[in-house]
Amino acid sequence: MRDDFRSGFVTVIGRPNVGKSTLINAMVGQKVLIISDKPQTTRNRIQAVYTTEEYQIVFLDTPGIHKPRNKLGEYMVRTARTTLNEVDAVVYVVEADGGMGRGDLFILDMLQKVKTPVILAVNKIDRVNSQQVEEVMNLFRKQIDFADMIPVSAVRGDNLNIIRGAIVDKLEKGPRYFPDDMITDQPERFIVSEIIREKALELLEQEVPHGIAVDIEEMEKGNGHIVRIYANIYCEKASHKGIIIGKNGAMLKEIGKRARQDMERLLGSGVYLELWVKVKKDWRNVEGSIRNFGFH
C-alpha cells in the first residue's frame, strides 16, 4: 500500500427522497443500496465502499431525516444524527428543484452544531437550468459555511469525480478498512431482504410499503449451484396482506420475479425464491419487533 494512502468515513444525509442512495450507488459505481421514488426507503445505516490505488472512501447511507411518526421513525432519525460527529466528512444532499423546506432548516440547525466539514451536494441538476442551480446554492450558502458546494446529477453522473475529490481532500492518511473488492459491509442475507423490499416499494400502493419488513427465514446453496431463499414479507394490517398478494397471487409473483432477477445478478447463480406474507400488527411501534427485524 502507498505511504500516502488516504481513507475515511463519510456520512450522507438529507431529507427523504432527495437521492442519497442513488448518489452513493453512482459514486461507488455499483448498485449497493436500494432506491425508490417513495420517501424513507433507507432504514439502516449502511456502509458502501469505494477504493482506488490512492484512497478508500467508506460512505454511510443514512435514513432520510424527517419528523418521526412511530418508534421505527425515531430509530431512523436517531441513526442519521449519531453519525455526524463520527466521520471525516458529511455530504448533505439537497434537490436542485426542491428549494428549502422545514426539513432542511431542521438539518441545517443540526449541522451548525457539528465540527465535521460539510459538503453540500445539490442533486438532480439534470432537471433544472444553471440559473436555478445557482439560486439554490445561494439560498443554502446563507445558512452555514459549507466546506464545498457541488452541483451533481446522480442519475446522469455529472460531477461525481469533483465530489469524490472534495471528499478525499478531507481524508487523512490511513489504512484500507475493507478489501479492494468489497463494496459493502452488509451480509448477503441483508442485501437479499432489501432487494425484496425494493420491489415491493416499486409495485405497491403508497400507504402499504412503509409498513413492510422482510425476514429471510432460510438461504442456502442447493444442487446445481442454485441458491434457495425462503422469505417472509411482514405487513401491519390484514387488508395490506391482500394487496401484497394481489388477485390470484399476481402481485406477490411479480415482486418475486423482479427480486429474483436482481438476486441472480448479485449472487451470480440461479435463485429459487419462495415468499410468504404475514401480518404483524403495528410492528413499527413495537420495540421487540423493531429489534427482531434488525433495527438496533
Is residue 169 a part of any domain in this protein?
yes
* Judgement on whether residues 19 and 124 belong to the same structural domain of the protein: yes
| CATH at 204 | 3.30.300.20
d(CA 217, CA 277): 12
Q: Is residue 136 part of a domain?
A: yes
Does residue 45 form part of some domain?
Answer: yes
Q: What is the pLDDT of residue 296?
A: 47
Regarding whether 205 and 114 lie in a shared domain, the answer is no
Q: Are 281 and 194 in the same domain?
A: yes
Examine residue 281 and state whether it is found in any structural domain, yes or no.
yes
**DSSP character at residue 38:** S
Q: Establish if 251 belongs to a structural domain.
A: yes
Residue 43: its pLDDT value, please?
Answer: 47
Residues 100, 14, single domain; the answer is yes
Within this chain, do residues 209 and 153 fall inside the same structural domain, yes or no?
Answer: no
Where is the domain boundary, 144, 173, 202? 173
pLDDT given at position 209: 58
What is the predicted pLDDT for the residue at 77? Answer: 58
Instruction: Report d(CA 167, CA 116) in Å as an integer.
Output: 12
Q: What domain range is 269 assigned to?
A: 188-292
In this structure, the answer to whether residues 165 and 210 fall within a common structural domain is no
Q: Is residue 182 part of a domain?
A: no
Q: Which of 138, 173, 208 is the last residue before a domain boundary?
A: 173
Question: What is the predicted pLDDT for the residue at 216?
Answer: 87
Q: Which residues of the chain have pLDDT under 70?
A: 1, 33-45, 63-82, 205-210, 223-224, 282, 284-296
Same domain, 156 and 193: no
Residues 29 and 110 in one domain: yes
Could you report the per-residue pLDDT of 159-209, keeping only the tens digit for each?
A: 999 999 999 999 999 998 888 888 877 777 888 888 898 888 888 866 565
> Is there a domain that residue 262 lies in?
yes
CATH number of the domain bearing residue 91: 3.40.50.300
The number of domains in the chain is 2
Which residue, 210, 221, 214, 208, is CA-closest to 278? 214
Which of 150, 173, 196 finishes a domain? 173
Q: Is the dihedral of CA 255, 182, 177, 51 positive or negative?
A: negative
**Residue 227 belongs to some domain of the structure:** yes
Own/partner pairs, 164-168, CB within 8 angstroms, 24+ separation? 164/27, 164/50, 164/57, 166/119, 167/10, 167/57, 167/89, 167/91, 167/119, 168/6, 168/54, 168/55, 168/57
Residues 131 and 194 in one domain: no
Asked if residue 226 and residue 151 are part of one domain, the reply reads no
